[in-house]
A and B are shown apart, each in its own frame.
Chain A
Amino acid sequence: AQSVAQPEDQVNVAEGNPLTVKCTYSVSGNPYLFWYVQYPNRGLQFLLKYITGDNLVKGSYGFEAEFNKSQTSFHLKKPSALVSDSALYFCAVRSGRGGKLIFGQGTELSVKP
């Protein structure tokens, strides 16, 4: 069965420092992987995806993610964090017919000035 795990409930970063939010996955076949962000009192917003090709995927708001097949990981990264990046981040993997996504439990990112 497809699954995704986010090992950290919370990540704290100082503004200007690089950030990493971790995600590992388990799939049969080729993985379709996604990152979403949720700001307070808002719906989830699509950030980026990996389907095939280059292992480094670039997305919205300066975020990127690195696909590592041997480690079955898809970590979200940003070179320089902003206070406005503080939000809840979800990793997801495609599963089954109809485009269903399996979401991780979410990681709360807190960026302090």
Chain B
Amino acid sequence: DAGVIQSPRHEVTEMGQEVTLRCKPISGHNSLFWYRQTMMRGLELLIYFNNNVPIDDSGMPEDRFSAKMPNASFSTLKIQPSEPRDSAVYFCASSFYSLGGSQSYEQYFGPGTRLTVT
């Protein structure tokens, strides 16, 4: 399996521009998570989906951030407009979840997208 795939790996943009980060989860996984990592705040969960439905978006910083999961194999995280304080590494992770099942739900992380907003 190729693992979780994220693109781009690096993104440099100017303040005010729209940024779109992409994620392809592991085939067969039905939960997808978007995280942000910074030195100041550590690892933060932004939003997660189960069966393509957003379950909890309470970690999304503000309305400039939006996420979609149009199908089981693709998700996007969009920032519009971007600001310098959005500079961080953004990770996507996936896992398999079954209500009442015995799975342990470990998440598998992608390599991350390093976003720099100038």
Interface of A toward B, CB cutoff 8 Å: 32, 34, 36, 42-46, 49, 51, 90, 94, 96-101, 103, 105-106
Contacts and interface: CB of A to CB of B under 8 A. Distances in A.
Contacts of A101: 33, 105, 107
Q: Closest 10 interchain pairs by CB?
A: A43-B109, A99-B105, A98-B50, A99-B97, A44-B109, A98-B55, A99-B31, A99-B95, A46-B106, A43-B111
B111 A100 contact: no
A97 B50 contact: yes
B109 A98 contact: no
Contacts of A99: 31, 50, 95-97, 105, 107
Interface residues of B, number: 26
A14 B56 CA distance: 42
B71 interface: no
Given A42-B111, A99-B107, 19 more contacts: A42-B112, A43-B91, A43-B110, A44-B109, A46-B108, A49-B104, A51-B104, A94-B105, A97-B55, A97-B99, A98-B49, A98-B55, A99-B31, A100-B45, A100-B48, A100-B55, A101-B107, A103-B43, A105-B42
Nearest to A100: B48
Interface in B64-108: 91, 93, 95-97, 99, 104-108
A68 B106 CA distance: 20
Nearest to A33: B104
B48 A98 contact: yes
A42 B89 CA distance: 10
Interface string B6-19: 00000000000000
Contacts of A43: 4, 91, 93, 109-112
